[in-house]
Structures are given as structure tokens and as C-alpha cells.
Structure 1
């Protein structure tokens, strides 16, 4: 029996080996390399040890503080708003609309489309002079802000785009979770005269908590790493005068444009720690909610 178990263990390691090797080469090693580089200065080909100087520079840099502020604003605005809209759309698709699979596929299309391509399209939608959004606002006699060329509007533009981007993945996952709920719960609830809102808050929402916990974690981590949408919306720039600078864009700028990889890696490590702490606190909060 023991020999059979050992044989099975070796077989399992043979199957896991290629995947583990890929994880070590492309995930673990880059993290360790970034940690080492964060204590070094100079160019990539001639780096030397400088201790905590990169961390001191990043912590004292007002541009990094602004980038973190924008990142937090984006994450804690886009994630809850996107989640609420996603739940509303998924519930209505599941509960009221026939041929929901067609609309589910339609909503999922942005997720499989390049963010750069979508960003270019939205760049025209947000255009202050001939954009579709301002055309609609003019039709209803509302104000027409300059979404892309006004520094005070740049983060609002990014947030609107981020909310729209987050819907695709959320809706598909929520639709799958809704299909996993036993329909007999709704049948019995209707027999006792429960309204749609009562069925949603007493049956649907409690059973969606594990899925919502997963989506909140994934969306929050993704929001803290926002970069591509800003690059696409502002044509390779972090907004007007850096008004839409985020943490990842700061890292890219220090690494690629300024040419200080040590500073970039120090900012990367700090961002990693922030995401780790926020994810931990979020999971603790969701676990408490789930026990109630």
C-alpha cells in the first residue's frame, strides 16, 4: 500500500512539474528579482547596491503619493459601482429577459476585446467637440465637459471607462452563480406571496456572497493595477499634466521613460504590500459578513 502511494506521489509530481516550473520561472523568480532590484540603483546592465535609498525616494516623492491617491480613488469607486450595476443587470437578465444567453454573450464581448482597441473607441466617445457622450448631453440640454483635455475631469473619465470595463466579467460570473441557485426556493417563496425584492434580498443575495467575495477580490486587485485603460484613453499619457497618474503608470514611467529600474521596483514592492493588506482586510470583512 505504501509503495503504491509513493508511486502515485511521484506520478503526481511528474504531472505537476511543468506547471510548477512555469510558476517558478514566470511568477516567483520575477518577484524575487524585483525585490532585489528595489535595493539597487543604476541601469539594468550595471546595477549596484544602495540599500533603502529607493524606498526613501519613492515614499518622499509627491508624484507617487498622487499616483496612490488616484489609484485608491479609482479602486474604491469603480469596484463598488461596477458591482452594484453588474448585480442589477445579471438579476434582470436572469429573472425577466428571455434568451438571456444571447445577452450574456453580448455583455461578455468587451472582456475578450483588446482594452487598447476599446480605449481608442472611447477616446472618440469622450471627445469634447464631436464625441457621442457630449452629443447626448447637448440633446438633453446638459453641460458638456471636456472629458479628455481638462485635468479636473480626467479621473472621472477613467472611472466611467473602468466601470464599463468591469461589467463584462462580473455579469458572466454572476449569471453562472444565479443558475446554481435551486429554483425551488423561488417557487416556495412565490407560494407564500414574496415580492421580487424580498426574493432577491432573502434568497438570491445571501447565496451570492461567495461569488461576490471572489469578484470583489479580483476586481480590487485589478483596479489597483490599472494602466492599460489610461494609456489607451489619453494616447500614451497619464492624463493632462499627469492628472490621471496611477501607481502602475508611475512604475512604468520610472522604469521605461526615466530609466531608474531600482526606483520602479521599490514602488512595485510597496504597491504589492498595499494590495496584500487591502485584500487581507477585505477578506476578513467578507468572512464576518458571510457568518451572519
Structure 2
């Protein structure tokens, strides 16, 4: 009814205003600023000069390369490990709630605090990780101070921090699967592997698609992990710089907001494109 529509718009108005001012307006403002140069309080129209600058800046391409590498490796690896752990807990462990709480604790803990702890774990001289590697007679690299290991260190840290959210969401999805599917499968003598691939995985496709989308977007926005692991820097010689770290550096440190916003627009387009491809892929998988 029309009268109910008016009431609905009235209730939606605060949310629409909030989203407009804090989400839509900043995106439009960033797009406009990407065509401007100068300080934040004295911006002047400069056309495509900011885009020309970032596309010719080797530091920008290093940031994009590191971000893409991080997203392409950490997201699928973390999701695969999360599915295995969630399935193991769901099918084998009795006290599921205890393990869910344990796995979820890192998600509600400050990334900075966790990063500081991992900075000591990754320490090349006295870190716990290298202590275990040496005990197993394996190479013990300098995870923090070796530029060639910077992205690997971020990926390992990213995989670990992603597990908490992924496992809890997957556990909820596993609980929603009708147990009758497994009962019928047992009647026909299906093995655990067959039940997992023929029942569990098809039922998890919508949840996996959701987690892929969330994790990919989070991976492209990685900043706090780099800041925490490398003590406010982007690794030795900026070897661990990412797209958001590049934006922060150009905006806050160098003082060129126009360049930072141009990089922001490019990153926004990349995220939209990758998310679109991922969703198309998951729809095809789900329809098979």
C-alpha cells in the first residue's frame, strides 16, 4: 500500500542519509580529487596528470603487484585450510563450541596487537618460527629484514588471520545442511570422501562464494598487517608495500592527495573487476 511505502521510506531515511554521506559521497569526492593537484586545502584542477604520474611510478606497480600476489595466494590457501578445519571440527570433534570460540578469538583481537606478536615469531635471530625450522634442519630465512621474504611473510600472516572468520561462517553453513542427506548416503554405503565432495561441498557453494568475495576485498585493502609486521614501514626498501599503503604514503606522508585519490580510483576499479569475475565464476560452479 502507498501509505506503508511512505512509512518505509521514513524508516529508511536515516540509513540512506548515513550511507550517502559516509559511503557514496567519499567515493565521488575521491574521484573528483583524483583530477586535482596541490595540498588538501588548496586543490587545483590538473586533468589526468595524477593518473599519468601513478602509471609511470615503479612504486605504484610494485604495490599493485604485491597486492595481487597476496590476494591470489592468501585467499584460496586460507579458504582451503578453513574448509578442511571446519569439516574436521564439524564431523570429528565433540565440543565444537569450544573450538569455534578458540578459532574466533583472533578475529576480535586487534590486528596491530597480533602483528606485534608475530613480529617476534618471525624474528630471524630468536623467533619461534626459525627455532622450529632449525630444529627440523630446514632453512631459517630472515622473514622481516630480507626484502625477498617480505611478501611471503605477509601472506603467511594473512592466511592465519583469515582462518578465524572463515571457520566460524563455514561452521554455521555446515550446521544448516540437512542431516538426512548424510543418513541416505550412509544407507548406500558412501565413504566420508564421497559425502564431502557430493553433499557437503555443493551445499557450501553459496557460503564459499560469500567468503571469497569478502576475503578478496579484504586482501586488496591490506594495510594494517603490513604496518604491524614491519613496525610502521612497508618492509626493507618498501619491499612489502601494498596498494593501500601506497595510498596512505602519498596522502599522509608525501602530501599529494590527488595522487593518492588517483591510486584509490584505480584500486576501486580493480576490486570491482576481480569481484565481478569471481562472482561469475562461482555462479557457473554453482549451476553445474
Residue correspondences, number = 288
1:83 match: 79
1:135, CA displacement in angstroms? Answer: 1.0
1:291, CA displacement in angstroms? Answer: 0.8
Q: CA deviation digits over 1:187-219, x for unaligned, max 9? A: 111111111100000000001000000100110
Q: CA deviation digits over 1:69-99, x for unaligned, max 9? A: 0000000000000010000000000000011
1:263 aligns with 2:268: no
2:69 match: 73
1:59, CA displacement in angstroms? Answer: 1.0
- Partners of 1:251 and 1:40 in 2: CA distance: 15
TM-score, normalising length: structure 1: 0.98
2:101 match: 105
Aligned CA RMSD, in angstroms, stands at: 0.6
- What is the aligned counterpart of 2:223 among 214, 223, 227? 227
Q: SS at 1:82's partner residue?
A: helix
- Partners of 1:12 and 1:92 in 2: CA distance: 45
Q: CA deviation digits over 1:29-84, x for unaligned, max 9? A: 11111011000000001000000110111111111111100000000000000010
2:20 match: 24
1:133 aligns with 2:129: yes
- Partners of 2:206 and 2:271 in 1: CA distance: 20
- Partners of 1:284 and 1:257 in 2: CA distance: 39
- What is the aligned counterpart of 1:118 among 114, 121, 126? 114
1:122, CA displacement in angstroms? Answer: 0.3
- Partners of 1:185 and 1:7 in 2: CA distance: 46
- Partners of 1:24 and 1:43 in 2: CA distance: 25
1:284 aligns with 2:280: yes
Q: CA deviation digits over 1:92-127, x for unaligned, max 9? A: 000000111110111000000000000000000001
- Partners of 1:53 and 1:248 in 2: CA distance: 20
1:234, CA displacement in angstroms? Answer: 0.1
Q: Which consecutive aligned stretches of 4+ in structure 1 deviate over 4 angstroms post-superposition?
A: none
- What is the aligned counterpart of 1:146 among 142, 146, 152? 142
- Partners of 2:251 and 2:124 in 1: CA distance: 32
Q: SS at 2:231's partner residue?
A: coil
Unaligned runs of 5+ in 1: none
1:180 match: 176
Q: CA deviation digits over 1:213-258, x for unaligned, max 9? A: 0100110011011000000000000011000011000000000010
Unaligned runs of 5+ in 2: none
- What is the aligned counterpart of 2:196 among 190, 193, 200? 200
- Partners of 2:180 and 2:218 in 1: CA distance: 36
2:59 match: 63
- What is the aligned counterpart of 1:243 among 224, 239, 245? 239
1:152, CA displacement in angstroms? Answer: 0.5
- Partners of 1:203 and 1:54 in 2: CA distance: 51
- Partners of 1:87 and 1:17 in 2: CA distance: 40
- What is the aligned counterpart of 2:162 among 156, 160, 166? 166
- Partners of 1:210 and 1:100 in 2: CA distance: 23
